[in-house]
Amino acid sequence: MRYWAAAKAAAGTAEEPYAAATLAEALDAARAAHAANPEFARVLLRCSFLVDGEPVGTRDHGTVPLAEGGTVEVLPPFAGG
């Protein structure tokens, strides 16, 4: 998982590995790993996600499969653009 901007700040790292079959599982594991920082969970609520370069959009995160060795980009809202 690659964290950007506020997600990176809240996670305290730019990236970390995941071991999950779906985006929902990966996000649940990330929330648990960063449970000591409640801001991390709040930031995730506002984020959009790319899985292997493809936008997740409004799809249910439980239906978004993750490939072994794939990439999840965690993108908080940003201004400018």
- If residue 75 lies in a helix (H) or strand (E), which one and from where to where? strand 72-75
The model's pTM is 0.92
Q: Which residues on neighbouring strands pair with residue 22, listed in sequence order?
A: 65
CA atoms within 13 A of residue 33's CA, in its CB half-sphere: 16
- If residue 6 lies in a helix (H) or strand (E), which one and from where to where? helix 5-11
- φ, ψ for residue 64 (rounded to 5)? -95, 105
Mean pLDDT, to the nearest integer, of 36-48? 96
Identify the pLDDT of residue 69.
Answer: 92
Residues 6 or more apart from 35 whose CB is under 8 A from it?
Answer: 41
* For residue 64, pLDDT beyond 90: yes
